[in-house]
Amino acid sequence: MTDTAFAPGVLASQQIETLLDRRAIIAPPLAQGQIQPASLDLRLGETAYRVRASFLPGHGRTLADRLPEFEMHRVDLTPGAVLEKGCVYLVPLRERMALPPGLSAVANAKSSTGRLDLLTRTVTDGGTEFDRIAPGYEGPLYAEICPRSFSVLVRPGMRLNQMRFRSGSATLDDAALLDLHRQAPLVDGTPVIDDGLGFSVDLAPGPDDLVGWQAKPHTGVIDLDRLGHYRPGDFWDAVRTDRRRIILDPGAFYILVSREAVSIPPTHAAEMAPYLAMVGEFRVHYAGFFDPGFGHGTPAHGVLEVRCHEAPFALEDGQIVGRLVYEAMAERPRHLYGQDIASNYQGQGLKLSKHFAAPGGG
């Protein structure tokens, strides 16, 4: 495969299939639905290593070389095992890379993983940063997993993170983003475009003044194979307001929702990025990836995974908390999010992860 095998942009599902055929991605037979419109889900292997601290291998070092410095014990995932809240684990993934020059990759947690406050990052041999796979990388992949709000039960083959592939660079500047919005509106209303498309938090009271959810500090275990199973009230406290404002507690984790309904055209993908560190003592999850077709034709709001830092912070309705950075696709995917494939969050508003029953349900 040469540097010019693909046009600039994020690779579509059919191009990811080409990478598999050419063994730029080396993996056992894929599971159904593992290839998404613009990304590849990554699968856990059979062993988790409990480590005493998060770490990166560093230039010229393999993770296997560094692991003895940090390993505390090993956990066999085969029968199912609990990864405990507040602990750090490393799990070899079933997929490995043999990327050609000119093709890079970026990983991030899947939507349901982020909504459980399950920090999941991808590590490579020789890596000096998380979730970034350099052009030409050949070697294994590992998932670093740190459950921060809930302990979780996992098994081999589960998919907690995903990877997308880039040929060159095709990030839209503000002028191109405004032009794209004029062709097909990206938000419902006047766009705030400044180094990406700004989005704000919706704290207008909903039914029963509900505006979000806050993770309870002491809960049971969540089995990641159980969908629609858990009662929200066992794991979350409802966040209510009649003043269009809430005060975030330091160290607490919240699920909120964007005021804007977002649209990702079939020819583009988008990534959630931080707005400005100076706007407040909180962080909005910024590793989110929006597939081509998300919200296209069916309004869908962005779910915000918010963690407050050192001091209580008053968050106001309509406050801008993040931005979407749009990129062109190298090709239009054959299958789009929410149209040709099963998609849990198309048309979403304020919504917990797929593991929970609808509020008020079983």
CA pair distance 318, 171, nearest whole angstrom: 26
What's the pLDDT at 286? 52
For the stretch 24-37, pLDDT in tens is 999 999 999 999 99
Measured CA angle at 234 (ends 228, 239), to 5 deg: 100
CA atoms within 13 Å, Cβ hemisphere of 336: 20
In one-letter notation, the amino acid at residue 185 is P
- Is residue 202 within 8 A of residue 254, CB to CB? The reply is no
pLDDT tens string for the chain (362 positions)? 444 479 999 999 999 999 999 999 999 999 999 999 999 999 999 999 999 999 999 999 999 999 999 999 999 999 999 999 999 999 999 999 999 999 999 999 998 999 999 999 999 999 999 999 999 999 999 999 999 999 999 999 999 999 999 999 889 999 999 999 999 899 988 899 999 999 899 999 878 899 999 999 999 999 999 999 999 999 999 999 999 999 999 999 999 999 999 999 999 999 988 665 555 667 776 557 899 998 887 778 889 999 888 889 999 999 988 889 999 999 999 988 655 544 554 445 788 999 999 886 44
The type of residue at 276 is L
Measured distance CA(249)–CA(258) in Å, rounded: 20
Compute the half-sphere exposure of residue 118: CA atoms within 13 Å on the CB side of its CA: 28
Contact 260, 200 (CB under 8 A): yes
The whole-number pLDDT of residue 347 equals: 46
C-alpha 90/C-alpha 73 separation (Å) is: 11
Q: Given the DSSP bridges, would you call strands 152-154 and 222-223 parallel, antiparallel or unpaired?
A: parallel
Between the alpha carbon of residue 339 and those of residues 48, 269, 353, the distances in Å are: 36, 15, 20
Residues 354, 359, 361, 362, CA torsion sign = positive
Residue-range domains of the chain with CATH:
9-167 (2.70.40.10), 174-328 (2.70.40.10)
Sequence letter at residue 31: A
Q: Hunting for tokens 């349900």 — which residue is that? A: 361
Closest Cα to residue 326, out of 223, 118, 178, 219? 178
Residue 289 CA from chain centroid, whole number = 6
Query: Can you give the pTM of this predicted structure?
Result: 0.92
Residue type, 215: A
Closest CA to 93 of 153, 145, 33: 145
Residues facing 109 on adjacent strands: 161
- What percent helix, strand, coil does the chain show, rounded to 5? 10, 40, 50
Cβ-contact 198, 326 below 8 angstroms? no
At residue 347, φ and ψ (nearest 5 deg) are: 70, 20
Length of the chain in terms of residues written: 362
Question: Is 258 exposed, middle or buried, given 0-12, 13-18 or 19+ CB atoms closer than 10 A?
Answer: buried
The amino acid present at 70, given as its one-letter code, is: F
Q: Dihedrals φ, ψ of 160, to 5°?
A: -105, -25
